Structure 1
Amino acid sequence: MTEPTTEKPDRPGYGRMRRDRIDALATAGVVADEPGVSLIRSAWKRLRRNPVFLIGAAITIAFVVLAVISPWIAPWDVTARPLIDEVRPQTNPVPGPEAGHLLGGDDRGRDLFSRLLVGSRQTLVVGVFATLFGLLGGLTLGTIAGAVGGWVDSLVMRIVDVMLSIPSLLLAFTIASLARQPSQWTLIVAIAVIQVPVFARLLRGSMLAQRSSDHVLAARSLGVRPRAIVFRHMLPNSLGPVIVQATLSLAVAIIDAAALSFLGLGNPDQRQPEWGQMLGLAQKYISEAPHLAFYPAGCIIVVALGFTLMGESLREALDPKSRR
Structure 2
Amino acid sequence: MSNPLNPENLDPRTKKQKIDSLAAQSGGTGVLTVDDAGHIEESGGVSLIASAWKRLRRNPVFLLGAGITLLFILLAIFAPLIAPHDPTKGLLLDKVRPQSNPVPGPEAGFPLGADTSGRDVLSRLIVGSRQTLVVGVFATLFGLAGGLSLGVLAGAFGGWVDSLVMRVVDVMLSIPSLLLAVSIAALAQQPSQWTVIIAIATVQIPIFARLLRGSMLAQRSSDHVLAARALGVKKSAIVFRHMLPNSLGPVIVQATLVIAGAIIDAAALSFLGLGNPDDRQPEWGQMLGAAQSQIFDNPALAVWPAVCIIVVALGFTLMGESLREALDPKSRR
Please name the residue that 1:81 is paired with.
90
Asked if the contact 2:151/2:211 (under 8 Å) is kept, the reply is yes
Write the letter of the residue equivalent to 1:218: A
2:324 corresponds to 1:315: yes
SS of the aligned residue for 2:117 comes to: coil
1:33 and 2:45 equivalent? Answer: no
1:81 is paired with a residue of what secondary structure?
coil
After TM superposition, the score normalised by the length of structure 1 is 0.93
CA distance in 2, matches of 1:116, 1:298: 11
Q: Distance in 1 between matches of 2:231 and 2:309?
A: 52
- Whole-Å separation in 1 of the counterparts to 2:235 and 2:22: 58
Q: 2:122 aligns with which of 113, 134, 142?
A: 113
Query: Which residue of the partner structure matches residue 147 of structure 1?
Result: 156
**1:27 Cα deviation from its structure 2 partner:** 3.1
Deviation of 1:23 after TM superposition, in Å, equals 6.2
Partner of 1:203: 212
Counterpart residue type for residue 195 of structure 2 = T
* Number of corresponding residues: 313
Query: Partners in 1 of 2:131 and 2:267 — Cα distance?
Result: 11
Counterpart contact for 2:127–2:282, Cα < 8 Å: yes
Q: Which residue of 1 aligns with 2:297?
A: 288
Deviations 1:115-166 (A, max 9, x none): 0000000000000000000000000000010001100000000000000000
Unmatched runs of 5 consecutive residues or more in structure 2 = 6-16, 25-30
> Mapping of 1:63-212 within 5 angstroms?
63-212=72-221
**Aligned residue among 215, 222, 228 for 1:219:** 228
Deviation, 1:225, is 1.1
Q: Which among 234, 242, 260 is matched to residue 243 of structure 2?
A: 234
Structure 1 residue 15 displacement after superposition = 9.9
Deviation at 1:245, TM superposition (A): 0.2
Q: Aligned with 1:34: secondary structure?
A: coil
Q: In the TM superposition, what whole-angstrom CA distance separates every residue of 1:14-61 from its partner, at most 9, and x where no partner exists?
A: 899559879633333233211110000000000000000000000000
Is residue 56–residue 62 contact of structure 2 (8 Å, CA) maintained in 1? Answer: yes
- What is the rounded CA distance, in whole Å, between the counterparts of 1:123 and 1:304 in structure 2? 11
How far apart are the structure 2 equivalents of 1:134 and 1:93?
Answer: 41
| Structure 1: gaps (5+ residues) | 1-5, 7-13
Q: 1:26 to 1:322 in 2, by over 3 A?
A: farther
In the alignment, the residues of structure 2 paired with residue 98 and residue 55 of structure 1 have an alpha-carbon distance, to the nearest angstrom, of: 32
CA–CA distance in structure 2, aligned partners of residues 167 and 24 of structure 1:
69
User: Helix, strand or coil for the counterpart of 1:235?
Assistant: helix
Amino acid at match of 2:37: A
Q: CA deviation at 1:218?
A: 1.1
Looking at structure 2, the residues matched to 24 and 169 of structure 1 have their Cα atoms a distance apart, in angstroms, of 69
Provide the rounded CA distance (Å) in 2 between the counterparts of 1:157 and 1:16. 67
Q: What amino acid is the match of 1:296?
A: P
**Mean CA deviation greater in 31-40 or 135-144:** 31-40
The amino acid of 1:315's aligned partner reads: R
Deviation at 1:73, TM superposition (A): 1.2
SS at match of 1:96: coil
2:20–2:33 contact (8 Å) kept in structure 1: no
Which residue in 2 is equivalent to 1:266?
275
Instruction: Provide the rounded CA distance (Å) in 2 between the counterparts of 1:291 and 1:306.
Output: 22
- Local SS of the residue matching 2:315: helix
Amino acid at match of 1:108: S
Name the CA distance, whole Å, in 1 between partners of 2:40 and 2:164.
51
Counterpart-to-counterpart distance in 2, 1:204 and 1:177: 30
Equivalent position amino acid for 1:57 in 2: A
TM-score (normalizing by structure 2): 0.91
Q: Secondary structure at the match of 1:280?
A: helix
